[in-house]
Amino acid sequence: MDRRKVLTKAVIRSIVASDEKARAWLNSENRALGARPIDLLPRAEGLIRVLLYLDSARGQGSLPELLSPPRARPKALPTS
């Protein structure tokens, strides 16, 4: 498997809730992207578009059935 595919899978796994949901989403038509996400991944430009879309969706709280819950931020240390 080439390095781009390995990296792509690792990044998408860190964003989505499960492999099954990721696979279903990647293979479904996406109006915002204008294509199935899986078809965009072979080219660097498409990969970036897909990752930006997922990052934006996570930030807006959309696609809750697909995305993993956000990780808790570490608490700031108190200042004296």
Specify if 75 maps to a domain: no
Q: For 58-71, what is each residue's pLDDT tens digit? A: 777 666 666 655 55
In a domain, residue 65? The reply is no
The answer to whether residue 25 is domain-embedded is yes
| Whole-angstrom distance, CA of residue 38 vs CA of residue 18 | 16
Which domain covers residue 41, as residue numbers?
3-60
**Mean pLDDT within 14-39:** 84
Residue 30: count of CB within 10 angstroms of its CB: 17
2-6, 7-11, 30-34, range with greatest mean pLDDT: 30-34
Model pTM greater than 0.85?
no
- Residue 29 inside a domain? The answer is yes
Q: Higher model confidence: residue 59 or residue 75?
A: 59
Sequence-separated (6 or more) residues with CB below 8 Å from residue 49: 33, 40
| 26 vs 45, more confident | 45
Phi then psi dihedrals of residue 66, to 5 deg: -100, -40
The number of domains in the chain is: 1
pLDDT classification of 42: cutoffs 50, 70, 90: confident
What is the Cα–Cα distance from 34 to 10, expressed in whole angstroms? Answer: 23
